Chain A
Amino acid sequence: MVPLARQRLNAVLCAHSSFSFGAGVSGPTTLVRRAAELGYDAIALTDTINVTGGAELFAAAREHGIRALIGATLPVRIDDEVYSLVAIAASRSGYRTLNELITHAHARDERDVPWPVLLSHTADLIVLTGGRGGLPARLLAARRVNALEERMRELHGAFPERLFVQLFHDRLPWDARRARVLRRFAQSLALPTLAALEVRFARPEDYRLFDALVCARLGISVQEPHPDRPRNTAGAMAGPAEVAERLPFPEALQNATFVAETAAFDLLPERLVTPAARIPAGLTADQQLERRCFEALLARYDVSALPAARRKLEEELATVRALGLAEFFLVAAEVTDYCRSHGILAAGRGSAAASICCYLLGITAVDPVKHDLLFERFLHTGKATMPDVDIDISSARRDEVIAWVEHRFGAATEAMVCNKITYRLPLAIQDLGRALGLPMELRTRLSRSLGRDFRHLSPRRAREAAVAFDEVLGEAPAKEVLIDLLSAMEPSHPRHLAPHSGGVVLSREPLTHYAPLERSSGGIKIVQLDKDDAEALGLIKLDLLGLRMLAALERAREEVFRLEGTWLDLGELPDDARVWDLISAGATLGLFQVESPSQIHTSRVMRARTLRDLAHQIALIRPGPIQSGTVHPYLRRRQGLEPTSYWHPSLEAVLGKTYGVLLFQEDVLRIGVHFAGMSWIEADRFRKKVSSFRDVADIEPDRQRFIEGAQRHVGASAEEAEQVFEAVKSYQGFGFAESHAWAFAIHAYASGWLRVHYPAEYLAAIMTEEPGMWSPSTKRHEARTWGVPFVPLDVNRSGVHYRVEWARHEGKRVKAVRPPLCAVKGVSTDAARSVMLERLRHGSFTSVDDLYGRAPLDRDVLEALVRAGALDALAPRREALYRIGVLTGTAPSGERPLLAAPTPTPGLEPLGTEGHLVWDMHTTRFSTLELHPLDVIRDQLREWGAISLAQVGRRARGSRVRTAGLVVSRQRPPTAKGFAFYVIEDGPQRAQLIISPDLWSSHRTLVRDAAILVADATIVDTGYQLTLKAETLAMAEGPFAVRGYEFG
């Protein structure tokens, strides 16, 4: 017999990570690191019915020099009982079997695997019988030995040589005896045993957080006992010696080592796998791609541009051939072909817009030759990661496209990727606060009190929000416990999976080869991989993103066609000086990408006259250019206020278009190659690192290489190279690819063109689709400056969407916008359609009784319509509400009562204009009245000496004023060094209010809670958008608040 000391355990075989969602604390990387520290050679991740941590596990294991195994804990159903069982993939084929089992479980409401299903999915799986919740432990405890023997024989038959009776020891009473009994039982059936403690967290000190998370998952407080709760720290990863002490059974330890050595395979592949494109018989994918591109080349380029275009195409095709990605392009083209042939607005964006192949295939609308875009940002030989192809699709019809993709590629080979939703402070407070027994009201107050300062923090940084905790919890003992728990969470602790906004993975073989599938709570089929994992596993991803602006453009085009009979080709709109005048004036509210307060300000300085200008403007106000100090030099140089200069003469070729500053991602890439002498691969890595590094120390090792490279490559001095490195280093956070900016500039111009030529149709479209940042109420007041009136909501005229109709306004026949019935909260599309159809069948409604008798609507819906004013033409609102109450007692709606309800309506006081406004706002978030909420308290504001924003606009810059406004936007971007930018509104006038960091901290609660702000301020800028610098702040009470845009 081998001495126990030599039976060294070398593997952790049952590790649960935080991807067990409420049943594990540590991330896969932490577990791997801990396993390596304890001297293990291998670790198996066995999360509960998912393998989401797999890609991270394998990458971390590679880094720490240990082997990774992937498995899962499966809840297996036998009759009415559910038992835990652990399955570990012995090979790639076993991994697929495991994924099929998990997919099966997720397809069932019970989320478990029926026993017969388990017995029919056995290929290359190693099965451990589970710990305390497993079949042997539970049936032995219940003294059902015969039943257990029968089940174990069935299992052994299904998994011969691959079934192990799992021995466990959780440091609970009689666990040592339990392990001995289990061992004896296994010996009686000649089954091998295996020593595997269930790991739930990396270190003993994680126990408290684990218990709290378990309580949160179970929906109980820590005061309540529950069998699933841990009772001690035994879930921490134990070292090999401790495991051997708890389970002193040599053969069980040896078997754990044996499994770890036989089951290892690498989940991360060496190459990418493209899905199967439709290719005519007799052609290869490369030939088909070349055929399509060359056909389009002749149609798209005239003779003068043809040679350059051909050269670029041939270079790209060579790269695509070398990487074996022809089918990737053809598949993306199939999607945009489908959209085009079905009248769905769709356009590729991102770095793909720099590809002439994408342009010629119709995936993008940007000509990369004309605009000199850099293909290498998208693809280059040596690129080991999948290129991004993002396709923006009209949000109103994206589901249609996704349904087609599923049909085209097959249900088994297509799914959305998921997002790993990680805890932020508010959500963690909700979950852990509930576990600590904090009442919901207190948790909600605490979450709200975090405000803009702290709500974006990861739970780990809870102590930074101490002021909010003090405000709500005072000296309550739970406060410190809660903060301690939050501080113990890992920075990216996942809470659940949710569908990605648009990432679809397409595979050549069933997706279960890569990961399990499940349905989200909204019914969307998702694969248990996020976009990075999908790429790591070699899958191709297409981002099919719903873009509301495309839906708005599509809808505006249809309105124009309905009213004017003109079908607009939005891709070929003429260049129009009036559009550029509008943008230059900063009158850009409602336009794509240039409607934010900072973009409005930039519009007036930039005075764009071309698409290139617009692309630059769109890219300029982003974290990357802001951090690297690009904005002011760019604008000053563009205005001729300072000369363009370069850090080094060689950079003129790279930064000539952008006045010598860093604007686009490509600029960093080009500097890496043309200035620092990097290869495209090195430069691509460098760019990624620059955009995402968190600690300066991470980027410092690159400094010397960069400087030496620049000295060698272009003969730059150390000082010059240092200066360029510093500029590049500060280009942190998100920046636009130039190709992406061009793609967006085209949509932005189209939105401006429609705003100028068809304002009513465009307004109706953006009210319906709600792109951008502004609330319906703000857009409604903006419409006053567009000269587009609203006509009232009307049960006899309104439909499902905002529509344009001819109306008399101030003595003229003009186009006006009619709100839809669906604009009313609580009125569904179906309910609105039923009203419309009844109107079409039997004519207009003549009274409240008539509507009630003909339209089958719930009382809630009818009352919401009345409150919103949809029945104003039939009866005053209070009377109509009373009448509905009477009628609901006589017959169901949609049926005429046999006898007319005789109750007369008592004389009710009319609602009044202010009442109408308040009811409108509460039901539809805006009012067709021209009255603004501030008008309701105008007298009070006058008493305080606050003048209207219209009056402020007539004062000179530098004047000091006291004014007020409804808060409609709150921004405090991380790049703004503590400054906050609020937008206050007073009728059609708006002002950006700059709040200094000092003022912010002294008014933290006020700026968080105020619906109407009263400010003493200095006028910084006038014009379309006022800019005010706040000096003192107060709040006023109004009839309601607007839930406007929030950022930061």
Chain B
Amino acid sequence: MRRLMVPLQVQPPRGTPRALRWVDPAGSTRSARVARVLDDWDYAGRWWEDEVLRHYLLLETEAGHTLEIYREGDAWCLSRVSD
């Protein structure tokens, strides 16, 4: 999987994501519809440096791609995508 770490818009913002939208490093706006959630987990981060807990989701899109996204507080991030 390729590391991206770009901000992500998620619909709906709470609950299981159905639609995603982000701007890739080349500046193009991309979107995807979620077919299913493959897995989810939590990562507490470097708490001694004030990092907060992240909730990760591994998703399969309707186009057949695999995305790893996480929520940190109210913000979403696209962390990795399958090549």
Residues of A within 8 A of B (CB): 171-177, 207-208, 211, 222, 230-234, 436, 478, 481
Contacts and interface: CB of A to CB of B under 8 A. Distances in A.
B81 interface: no
A307 B47 CA distance: 75
Contacts of B42: 171-172, 231-234
B44 A172 contact: no
A212 to B, nearest CB: 8
Given A232-B53, A233-B53, A211 B47 contact: yes
B83 interface: no
Contact of B44 (A174, A231, A436): A231
Contacts, number: 38
Considering the complex of A and B, which 6 residue pairs feature the smallest CB-CB distances, nearest first? Answer: A232-B42, A171-B42, A232-B44, A173-B41, A208-B47, A481-B48
Interface string B18-43: 00000000000000000000011111
Given A232-B53, A233-B53, A436 B48 contact: yes
Given A232-B53, A233-B53, A207 B47 contact: yes
A1003 B58 CA distance: 61
A233 B44 CA distance: 7
Nearest to B56: A173
B43 A174 contact: no
Interface in B29-78: 39-44, 46-48, 53, 56, 58
A232 B43 contact: yes
23 contacts: A171-B41, A172-B41, A173-B41, A173-B56, A173-B58, A174-B39, A175-B41, A176-B39, A177-B39, A207-B47, A211-B47, A222-B46, A222-B48, A230-B44, A231-B42, A231-B43, A231-B44, A232-B41, A233-B42, A234-B42, A436-B48, A478-B48, A481-B48
A481 B46 CA distance: 12
Q: For B43, B44, B58, which residue has the most chain A Cβ atoms within 10 angstroms?
A: B44
A173 B47 contact: no
Contacts of B58: 173
A173 B39 contact: yes
A551 B32 CA distance: 84
Q: Is the interface of B mostly helix, strand, loop or mixed?
A: strand
A207 B42 CA distance: 13
A231 B69 CA distance: 17
Interface centre among A173, A175, A207, A211, by most B CB within 10 Å? A173
A93 to B, nearest CB: 41
A222 B39 CA distance: 27
A831 B40 CA distance: 66
Given A207-B47, A222-B48, 14 more contacts: A172-B41, A172-B42, A173-B41, A173-B56, A176-B39, A176-B40, A177-B39, A222-B46, A230-B44, A231-B43, A231-B44, A232-B43, A232-B53, A234-B42
Most buried by A among B39, B41, B44, B48: B48
Contacts of A222: 46, 48
Contacts of B39: 173-174, 176-177
A134 B42 CA distance: 22
A211 B58 CA distance: 26
A231 B41 CA distance: 10
Contacts of B48: 208, 222, 436, 478, 481
A172 B42 CA distance: 6
A171 B41 CA distance: 5
A377 B33 CA distance: 78
Contacts of A177: 39
B41 to A, nearest CB: 5
Contacts of A232: 41-44, 53
A208 B48 CA distance: 8
A25 to B, nearest CB: 14
A173 B40 CA distance: 6
Contacts of B41: 171-173, 175, 232
Contacts of B40: 171, 176
Contacts of A230: 44
Contacts of A231: 42-44
B4 to A, nearest CB: 18
Contacts of B44: 207, 211, 230-233
Nearest to A481: B48
Nearest to B49: A477
A403 B40 CA distance: 59
Contacts of A174: 39
B36 to A, nearest CB: 13
B1 to A, nearest CB: 13
A257 B56 CA distance: 31
A516 B75 CA distance: 51
Contacts of A436: 48
A222 to B, nearest CB: 5
Nearest to A174: B39
Contacts of A171: 40-42
A845 B62 CA distance: 96
A681 B46 CA distance: 55
B26 to A, nearest CB: 29
Nearest to A230: B44
A492 to B, nearest CB: 25
B83 to A, nearest CB: 19
Nearest to A173: B41
